[in-house]
């Protein structure tokens, strides 16, 4: 059983307890890379695909979900948009059954969590359920995508994606604000990428986009030898780190391996395209950054934490320059050439601006972007891992001998990418298209026997554990006891209001245990841990909030409905699990309140927070 599965079973027990093409032959170049560094760089290539565990985990979680209502089975699923044509068309051709559509209760909770990182309020639920408009799901999606909660959730996502932390200094909050503004006005994502790649600044504390470059700087010597600020930043290694980041984040390519050695002799078993690339190809791609200069500010003889001047006054990329974190550079051509096409800069153009232009104009930029967001909403990517594309295995008509096609739905991936380009790289449009599809709106419950082979068809909704921030904020919303965070001069109540991890020691420990990114390393899917259900049962983050005190939801409900325990029970279910109780659940809860009204209500909300369905988005 998977670790996440063990967590699911642990949570169930907790709730029950309370409520009851080949290169010319040549000898591969041998590069001397320490074993620990080699393992660290190559580990992502051997990650287990998310789809291998998504089906089994969903089966376990779905078994614990209440029976609830069922949508009527349909002999042929209606198509809401082109996504449905590809998803259901493939299932129909291959005779693969699929789940029914999610109920309204399930849909509201799912889409609200996915688009805003929060659970819906009881008022939102009632308004949606009472709306007779057949297009009410589309209307809800549009409303969520224009909410401030949407801005908060996805700004936090991008802060994790770019590992925004103290290496940016005060620029971290500026970058967060900039990403919020980009999302608020739905700035074309290709413009955002170009701004990040080409940013120059007298200080990254003033120019927001420059903070990604500042974040990736490689620390040089502890003190400059002769007063030259260049000694504080290893210029070439920073060029390499940025080149790796841009490829992974914007192109879905992991080129870390060829930053140290040729692909041949190392990558034949994991990535056909990369196995034909050389370290010299990496050098020429990194050479777009060779003129970039990263100067740490000094005042009174001391470097200023996280503050950099970034310009293009360096002489160029030195293919024989020393490295602090990689094997020695061995020389070769130092003129820039884009890794995917071999294109070189136009005469007189700035190299970084040319890299930004080539990268965002390449079809792989759109393909990688739509695949990344598809993975966030659908459980795993059409290509997975979403940042490990093998470009030699994308065309169904040209798959290398002995290999399988990498994307599960290559035509859909291309159609999504084209639609993204046609709509000016709008992230809001991309998310809306995915959420409006019936493929996204399928239930996690599956009638009949589930087979692992159905997984890559997206034949049901695949559950995911809430992120640490989503879990904290959902607990705060369910109990109506917001957190207490300081953000600049403001006090805010939600973790996703912030630019980064914060909070009291109890909150920090809780969040770290549930997988909050420290932003030192790229974010990874949350892994289950036996400690997680224990914290849900015992952490003050939960236990203090469920008390009938400090104007909590429990306290207000008991005061408002003094003679109506049934209303208290119903409201707690709606506020916490986004659904009404079943008759059996209502009976058990009412008996608990009848024995001791205050303790019964407190225990009820504690138990609801410990339910599997609270911990997962389904």
The pLDDT assigned to 64 comes to 86
Where does the pLDDT of residue 29 fall: very low under 50, low under 70, confident under 90, or very high at 90 and above? very low
**Has residue 70 got a pLDDT over 70?**
no
CA end-to-end span of the chain, whole Å?
Answer: 20
Query: Is the pLDDT reported for residue 46 higher than 90?
Result: no
DSSP letters along 519-545, please? SSS---PPPP-THHHHHHHH-HHHHTT
Query: Quick check: is 498 in a domain?
Result: no
Same domain membership, residue 415 and residue 300: no
Domain C-terminal end among 310, 334, 361? 361
Q: Give domain status of residue 604, yes or no.
A: no
Q: Give the helix ranges, DSSP H, for 252-386.
A: 272-275, 279-286, 351-361, 363-378
- Residue 581, both tokens: 């109780």
Q: Quick check: helix, strand or coil at residue 330?
A: coil
Give CA–CA dist 386/525, Å, rounded: 12
Question: 316 in a domain, yes or no?
Answer: yes
For residue 303, what is the DSSP state?
Answer: E
Residues 348 and 292 grouped into a single domain: yes
For the CA atoms of 485, 486, 490, 495, what is the dihedral angle to 10 degrees? -40
Please tell me the distance from the alpha carbon of residue 395 to that of residue 407, in angstroms, as a whole number.
9
Sorting pLDDT into bands at 50, 70 and 90, what band is 14?
very low
What is the per-residue pLDDT across 121-179, written as a single tens digit (0 to 9) for each? 999 999 999 999 999 999 999 999 999 999 999 999 999 999 999 999 999 999 999 99
Token match 């994307």: residue? 407
263 and 411 co-located in one domain? no
- Residue 215 CA, chain-centre distance (Å), reads 19
Cβ pair 467, 526 in contact under 8 A: yes
In terms of residue numbers, what domain contains 403?
364-425
* pLDDT tens digits along 212-254: 999 999 988 655 454 455 558 999 999 999 999 999 999 999 9
CB 548 within 8 A of CB 558: yes
Is residue 396 domain-shared with residue 417, that is, in the same domain?
yes
What's the CA gap between 12 and 229, in Å, rounded?
57
In the chain, the percentage of residues whose pLDDT exceeds 90 is 77
Regarding predicted confidence, which is higher, 350 or 71? 350
| Residue at 137 is within a domain | no
Alpha carbons 253 and 263: distance in angstroms, whole number:
13
Same domain, 336 and 372: no
Query: Which DSSP letter does residue 190 get?
Result: H
Domain final residue, candidates 402, 425, 448: 425
- Would you state the pLDDT for residue 392? 98
Q: How confident is the model at residue 22 (pLDDT cuts 50, 70, 90)?
A: very low
Domain count, the chain: 2
Q: Residues of the chain with pLDDT > 70: what percent?
A: 88
Residues 294 and 320 both lie in one domain: yes
Distance CA 294, CA 232 (A): 9
Tokens of 346: 């136009």
Q: Are strands 616-617 and 485-487 parallel, antiparallel or unpaired?
A: unpaired
d(CA 197, CA 370): 20
Mean pLDDT of 268-289: 97
For 455-475, the DSSP string reads GGGT-SPPPEEPPHHHHHHHH
How many Cα atoms are found within 13 Å in the side-chain-facing hemisphere of 352? Answer: 26
Tell whether 298 is covered by a domain: yes
Between CA 576 and CA 586 the distance in angstroms is: 14
298: three-class secondary structure by DSSP:
strand
Tokens of 507: 């909150």
**Residue where a domain terminates, one of 361, 392, 409:** 361
Q: What is the pLDDT of residue 390?
A: 98
pLDDT at 466 over 70: yes
Residues 233 and 382 in one domain: no
Look at residue 179 and tell me if it is in a domain: no
Q: Looking at the structure, do residues 368 and 341 belong to the same domain, yes or no?
A: no
Min mean pLDDT across 114-118, 443-447, 518-522, 594-598 is at: 518-522
Contact between 535 and 614 under an 8 Å Cβ cutoff? The reply is no
For residues 228 and 307, state if they share a domain. yes
CA atoms of 112 and 152, how far apart (whole Å): 13
pLDDT at residue 30, as a whole number: 47
What is the per-residue pLDDT for 298?
80
193 and 331 both lie in a single domain: yes
Q: What is the pLDDT of residue 104?
A: 96
Dist. CA 283–CA 26, nearest whole Å:
20
Burial class for 88, CB neighbours closer than 10 Å (0-12, 13-18, 19+): buried
Does 350 fall in a domain? Answer: yes
Q: Which has more pLDDT, 35 or 108?
A: 108
Q: What does the pLDDT average to over 473-481?
A: 97
State the Cα–Cα distance between residues 253 and 266, nearest whole angstrom.
Answer: 16
* 428 CB burial (10 A radius; 0-12, 13-18, 19+): middle
Nearest to 460 by CA among 5, 78, 55, 110: 55
Statement to judge: residues 418 and 356 lie in one domain: no
Report the half-sphere exposure of 299 (CA within 13 A, side-chain side): 6
How high is the pLDDT of residue 533?
87
Whole-model pTM: value is: 0.90
Domain assignment of residue 401, yes or no:
yes
On whether both 353 and 408 belong to a single domain, the answer is: no
Q: Quick check: 242 and 213 in contact, CB under 8 A?
A: yes
């Amino acid at each position: 059983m998977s670790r996440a599965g063990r967590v699911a079973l642990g949570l169930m027990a907790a709730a029950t307890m309370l409520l009851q093409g080949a290169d010319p032959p040549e000898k591969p170049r041998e590069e001397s890379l320490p074993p620990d560094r080699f393992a660290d760089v190559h580990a992502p290539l051997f990650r287990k695909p998310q789809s291998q565990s998504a089906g089994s985990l969903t089966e376990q979680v779905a078994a614990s979900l209440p029976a609830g209502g069922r949508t009527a089975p349909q002999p042929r699923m209606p198509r809401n948009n082109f996504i449905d044509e590809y998803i259901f068309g493939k299932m129909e051709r291959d005779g693969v059954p699929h789940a029914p559509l999610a109920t309204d209760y399930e849909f509201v909770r799912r889409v609200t969590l996915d688009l805003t990182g929060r659970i819906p309020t009881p008022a939102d639920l009632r308004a949606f359920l009472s709306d007779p408009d057949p297009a009410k799901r589309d209307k809800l999606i549009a409303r969520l995508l224009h909410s401030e909660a949407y801005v908060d959730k996805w700004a936090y996502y991008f802060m994790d994606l770019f590992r925004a932390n103290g290496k940016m200094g005060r620029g971290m909050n500026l970058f967060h604000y900039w990403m919020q503004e980009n999302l608020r006005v739905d700035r074309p994502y290709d413009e955002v990428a170009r701004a990040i790649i080409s940013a120059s600044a007298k200080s990254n504390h003033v120019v927001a986009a420059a903070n990604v470059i500042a974040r990736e700087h490689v620390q040089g010597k502890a003190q400059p030898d002769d007063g030259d600020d260049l000694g504080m930043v290893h210029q070439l290694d920073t060029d390499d780190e940025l080149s790796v980041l841009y490829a992974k984040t914007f192109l879905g390519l992991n080129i870390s391996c060829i930053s140290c050695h040729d692909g041949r002799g190392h990558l034949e078993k994991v990535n056909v395209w990369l196995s034909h690339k050389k370290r010299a190809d990496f050098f020429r791609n990194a050479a777009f950054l060779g003129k970039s200069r990263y100067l740490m500010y000094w005042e009174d003889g001391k470097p200023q934490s996280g503050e950099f001047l970034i310009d293009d006054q360096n002489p160029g990329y030195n293919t024989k320059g020393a490295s602090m974190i990689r094997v020695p550079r061995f020389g070769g051509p130092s003129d820039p050439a884009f890794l995917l096409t071999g294109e070189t800069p136009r005469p007189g153009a700035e190299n970084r601006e040319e890299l930004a232009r080539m990268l965002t104009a390449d079809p792989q930029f759109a393909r990688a972007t739509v695949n990344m967001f598809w993975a966030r909403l659908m459980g795993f990517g059409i290509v997975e891992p979403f940042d490990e594309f093998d470009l030699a295995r994308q065309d169904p008509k040209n798959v290398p001998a002995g290999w399988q096609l990498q994307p599960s739905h290559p035509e859909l991936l291309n159609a999504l990418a084209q639609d993204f380009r046609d709509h000016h790289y709008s992230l809001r449009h991309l998310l809306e298209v995915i959420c409006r599809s019936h493929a996204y709106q399928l239930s996690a419950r599956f009638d009949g026997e589930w087979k692992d082979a159905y997984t890559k068809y997206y034949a049901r909704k695949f559950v995911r554990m809430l992120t640490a921030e989503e879990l904290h904020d959902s607990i705060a919303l369910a109990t109506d006891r917001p957190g207490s965070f300081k953000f600049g001069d403001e006090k805010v109540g939600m973790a996703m209001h912030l630019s980064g991890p914060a909070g009291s020691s109890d909150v920090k420990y809780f969040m770290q245990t549930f997988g909050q990114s420290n932003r030192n390393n790229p974010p990874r899917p949350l892994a289950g841990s036996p400690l997680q259900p224990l914290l849900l049962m015992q952490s003050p983050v939960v236990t203090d909030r469920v008390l009938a005190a400090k104007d909590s939801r429990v306290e207000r409900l008991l005061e408002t409905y003094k003679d109506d325990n049934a209303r208290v029970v119903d409201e707690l279910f709606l506020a916490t699990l986004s659904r009404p109780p079943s008759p059996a659940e209502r009976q058990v809860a009412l008996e608990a309140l009848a024995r001791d009204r205050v303790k019964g209500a407190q225990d009820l909300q504690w138990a609801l927070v410990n339910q599997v369905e609270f911990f997962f988005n389904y």
